Structure 1
């Protein structure tokens, strides 16, 4: 009965956040404090309650700086006849598309309001025209000029988009980015399993050194594929490689440390937490603010979510807003490595004992080879014959 329940929980962990993707307090900027900007704030608040966390900026330059600093995902600059959407597809292609769609909706509603207002003005002008029918020609000419001016003022609100921080041209939808991040969790679990179960790595220092080297080499391979072959990580190559290494280390060290403390069963526990919770709640395919409430916080406190966010911040935003994610990865790495180094103090096992091994260091007792004769017990009782003295 336990296995079907585990499978059901795993499917739920992945399917539930994906099926409930919707904007929740997504940070968005509004340029200016004039009447048009105030109307935009009211329209956004009324149309999508709780969807956006709105911030006001004095001008477009301030809004651009906020986007590059990862304070907001985008901003709306509203003028009399146009709405400019400042977005960052590198932050999240799905959020960037959402901002564009909402900008078009704002423009359509503004156009409808202008059309209704112009209809009311036209009706008023028509009444004034009838009243002025009997007036001298000069007044009629003035009314005609007003009618023509009103007709010329009718125009549709246009939507312009500016990509402040564009994503790599080879990965316009961010699919390669997310596809490169998700396997890191499984690879980290495999590295941790190898380090804890390899019989040649008896000492804690050897395991720690192997973890560091394996994660660095594996991260280099990931970078060569993601950027060298697919072009999805175009900026800051050294920093990107370092973040990939730290991401792998935080997962593999945690897995190795849990196995060291709990035995072989710890491998399944760490895999379940990192894969079924960490990957599913990471928000790598959309954004943490698009996930159900509470899920985003859990995901960003686990290495898969923190690693994906830090990798995005480092690759496209010069590391802005990445300090918290860096601290999360460092914390998991330090805790995992500490458990690998000093876990024998908790378990009471000798330092060189492998998980699940006997005190002598052997996984199974030695068996006699073919053709060998088992030695007779030293204290076997001899049978005495009748009549012996």
Structure 2
């Protein structure tokens, strides 16, 4: 055989790699560019209260692509719904003016849009609008910089954990150690990240342990998913997991703006990926005392189960291979 000849199937493998990378880059471009180009209010749930004529008019005029209008009997009911995360905000039209109820910590972009809407409604009724931020960011971090900055370290934490543990504890025999290390890392890093957010940057001021539990679950979802994919699919699995978290999940997380600011389909996809669910769980625990935490917690638990399942499948495959090809004892 000529030393310049190639192995059978090389061309097919090369074509698959090139097509796979091209698909990855295209998906990455779509994930970053398309949601930004079409960003804006998309079916943001808001509550309204007032006279039947007023609420009917608001619902007729506003209910559409931008707003999902729900009618409440009293302003107190609107306020309670905002605090319970049933709605993103609301308008209460009374004889004294238009009260705009917002939750900046739930989504700054939606708050800005709702404030503008309140001013417009007040102008139509020749009234004044008053804004009441029911769930605001902390005084030390009024823009929520710490909250939005937490996601990337969490994503990189999962990536680095899978990469480093695989280097220190390689092969089939190190798989269970890697899995245990990923879970231990999640506990240690999760409590540390929550402590920094609460006590160093003062970006959150809710129940510390509730926030920490959410971050621990988020870190576990990302690290075990990456580790499981890498164990089962090798380098391709690690690349797939990294792209899933960083190139797709990060821009679709909606952590900086709130998920309702992304196009509906993209927003839904983002909330079912670990970064989006992590951001939503962190927001719910840190500012809303756990209200709305159920779905993101369930999504992250499912990703932990997926990662562990891939790891166990890889472990089973490794045991089979070891039984079929036992090591020859050294002479």
The bucket for the TM-score relative to the shorter chain is: 0.7 to 0.9
Query: Would you say 1:84 and 2:99 are equivalent positions?
Result: yes
Match of 1:186 among 146, 150, 156: 156
Corresponding residue for residue 64 of structure 1: 79
- Give deviations 1:99-137, integer Å, cap 9, x for gaps: 1111011122333xxxxxxxxxxxxxxxxxxxxxxxxxx
Structure 1 residue 247: deviation in Å? 0.5
Conserved 8 A contact 2:102-2:134 = yes
Structure 1 residue 81: deviation in Å? 4.6
Structure 1 residue 205: deviation in Å? 3.2
Corresponding residue for residue 74 of structure 1: 89
Which consecutive unaligned segments of at least 5 residues does structure 1 have? 112-156, 353-357, 362-389
Corresponding residue for residue 14 of structure 2: none
Query: Would you say 1:284 and 2:255 are equivalent positions?
Result: yes
Question: Separation in 2 of the partners of 1:351 and 1:294?
Answer: 45
Structure 1 residue 64: deviation in Å? 1.5
Structure 1 residue 235: deviation in Å? 0.8
Query: Would you say 1:199 and 2:217 are equivalent positions?
Result: no
Which consecutive unaligned segments of at least 5 residues does structure 2 have? 1-17
Change (3 A) 1:5 1:339: closer
Change (3 A) 1:200 1:258: closer
Structure 1 residue 347: deviation in Å? 5.9
Query: Would you say 1:164 and 2:179 are equivalent positions?
Result: no
Structure 1 window deviating more from structure 2 (102-111 vs 245-254): it is 102-111
Match of 1:54 among 62, 69, 80: 69
Query: Would you say 1:34 and 2:52 are equivalent positions?
Result: yes
Instruction: Give SS of 2:181's match.
Output: helix
Structure 1 residue 161: deviation in Å? 1.0
Question: Separation in 2 of the partners of 1:240 and 1:222?
Answer: 10
Change (3 A) 1:206 1:220: same
- Give deviations 1:238-266, integer Å, cap 9, x for gaps: 11111111101101101111111111221
Query: Would you say 1:216 and 2:234 are equivalent positions?
Result: no
Question: Separation in 1 of the partners of 2:241 and 2:327?
Answer: 27
Aligned length: 308
Question: Separation in 1 of the partners of 2:90 and 2:145?
Answer: 24
> What is the TM-score with the length of structure 1 in the denominator?
0.73
Instruction: Give SS of 1:90's match.
Output: helix
Question: Separation in 1 of the partners of 2:322 and 2:58?
Answer: 65
Question: Separation in 1 of the partners of 2:256 and 2:75?
Answer: 28
Corresponding residue for residue 207 of structure 2: 236
Corresponding residue for residue 126 of structure 1: none
Question: Separation in 2 of the partners of 1:324 and 1:192?
Answer: 26
Within 5 A, what are the aligned runs for 1:1-389?
6-7=24-25, 9-45=27-63, 49-111=64-126, 157-199=127-169, 202-346=173-317, 350=321
Structure 1 residue 37: deviation in Å? 2.7
> What is the TM-score with the length of structure 2 in the denominator?
0.85
Higher-Rg member (1/2): 1
RMSD: 2.4
Question: Separation in 1 of the partners of 2:224 and 2:320?
Answer: 19
- Give deviations 1:59-88, integer Å, cap 9, x for gaps: 122111111111101110102351100111
Instruction: Give SS of 1:320's match.
Output: coil
Question: Separation in 2 of the partners of 1:16 and 1:175?
Answer: 24
